Amino acid sequence: MKPEELLYTIALSSVKGIGDVLAKNLIAYCGSAEAVFKTGKTKLEKIPGIGSEKAKQVSLSDVMKIAETELKFISDYHITPLVYTDDKYPQRLKDCSDSPVLLYYKGSADLNAAKVVAIVGTRRATDYGKEQTKKLIAELAAHNVLVVSGLAYGIDICAHKAALENGLETVGVLGHGLNTIYPATHKATAKEMVEQGGLLTEYRSTQEMHPSHFANRNRIVAGMSDAVILMESAIDGGAVITANVADSYHKDVFAYPGKANDKWSAGCNNLIKLKRATMIENAADLLREMNWDLPEGKSKKVKSAQQRTLAIHLSESEQLVYNLLNEQGEKHIDELSDRTGLSTGVLAATLLEMEMNNLILSLPGKMYKLA
């Protein structure tokens, strides 16, 4: 992206009251971030979701100085800005409606690696939680998995350190700008991660830290991953929020079980009980559930490739899904979306309807096949 367009993109993301969804909507209608600022208030307010008040914010907002300061910081500290239209932007995250317009990245890891898992949990990790985290990552070392977490105390930092020790790349998603590291005690680990993974954030260097930032970053952790693993958490812990966000994004969610009366396993146990997370106890369980236990390039066989005769009428979206599965066998939900052109919401509703009518089967790892 040209520096001038990046400048306007930073500026747009800095306008108060214009969140990520509206910012992307404005760019789509106007053609570019620069064009948004050069479009008159009267035209802006006619864009769906904007209205007169938000159009006024864009027209009168003095955010160019903020953008210029951030552009200098990016240059001085060799930060990689990732706009949602960039190829290097996490594509899994891009598919989420509230994904950030702009991310700031410092690191070497491919954010679109073939296998990405988020490992999250309580800041007050027990010895059990730490041991299981280390064991899981050691077992994943041979499978070239990118490990994502939030660089917080407890399970997060344990996951990052274990990944570094086992030669896996690991990315920390921050709730603040790249001008600092919080908590400060994790600076040394963060420095290692830049060389063997990376640090990622949606926040500018000039933005003050706020508790809400750490809750917001959970959607990035969940959105950029194939699966979220809840290692240990209280019933209302932040890690449970991350797991619930992942579930809303149609990601695979896994949880380690704990004792029935253990406060720091209550969140895990509850998600398993409510069937909002699949119970796992080791890497073998995860690999099997995600269909990652197969040789590279192979997929599980589908029993029948013969044309099936349907007893019910299919809608247009159902016919698209049916034809693809009938011709090519089982598919991941992301591939179904790509091949059919259906939006995530329409596809999810279509798959649910087809499953209820016994037309398809839902497999582990968000895979689907004809029944």
The model's confidence at residue 312, banded by pLDDT at 50, 70 and 90, is low
pLDDT for 296 beyond 60 = no
Note whether 360 and 333 are within 8 A (CB): no
171 bridge partner residues: 148, 198
The order of strands in the sheet holding 116-121 is: 80-83, 102-107, 197-201, 170-173, 146-149, 116-121, 227-232, 252-255, 278-279
Among 357, 270, 285, which residue's Cα sits nearest to residue 322?
357
**pLDDT confidence of residue 308:** 42
- pLDDT digit string, tens, across residues 253-272: 999 999 999 999 999 999 99
The model's confidence at residue 294, banded by pLDDT at 50, 70 and 90, is low
Of residues 197 and 326, which shows the higher confidence score? 197
Mean pLDDT of the chain: 90
Query: Going from the N-terminus, what domains does the chain have, and what CATH number goes with each?
Result: 3-76 (1.10.150.20), 106-289 (3.40.50.450), 316-370 (1.10.10.10)
In angstroms, the CA 226 to CA 223 distance is 8
370 bridge partner residues: 360
Mean pLDDT over 39-53 rounds to: 88
**pLDDT confidence of residue 295:** 58
Mean pLDDT over 49-65 rounds to: 85
Q: How far apart are the first and last CA of the chain?
A: 46
Q: How far is CA 81 from the centre of its chain?
A: 17
**pLDDT confidence of residue 299:** 46
pLDDT for 237 beyond 80 = yes
In angstroms, the CA 20 to CA 13 distance is 7
**pLDDT confidence of residue 346:** 87
Mean pLDDT over 199-216 rounds to: 93
Mean pLDDT over 53-61 rounds to: 82
pLDDT for 156 beyond 70 = yes
In angstroms, the CA 31 to CA 42 distance is 17
In angstroms, the CA 59 to CA 2 distance is 23
Strand locations in 155-218 (E) = 170-173, 197-201
The model's confidence at residue 364, banded by pLDDT at 50, 70 and 90, is confident
pLDDT for 359 beyond 50 = yes
In angstroms, the CA 90 to CA 92 distance is 6
The model's confidence at residue 306, banded by pLDDT at 50, 70 and 90, is very low
Mean pLDDT over 210-223 rounds to: 94
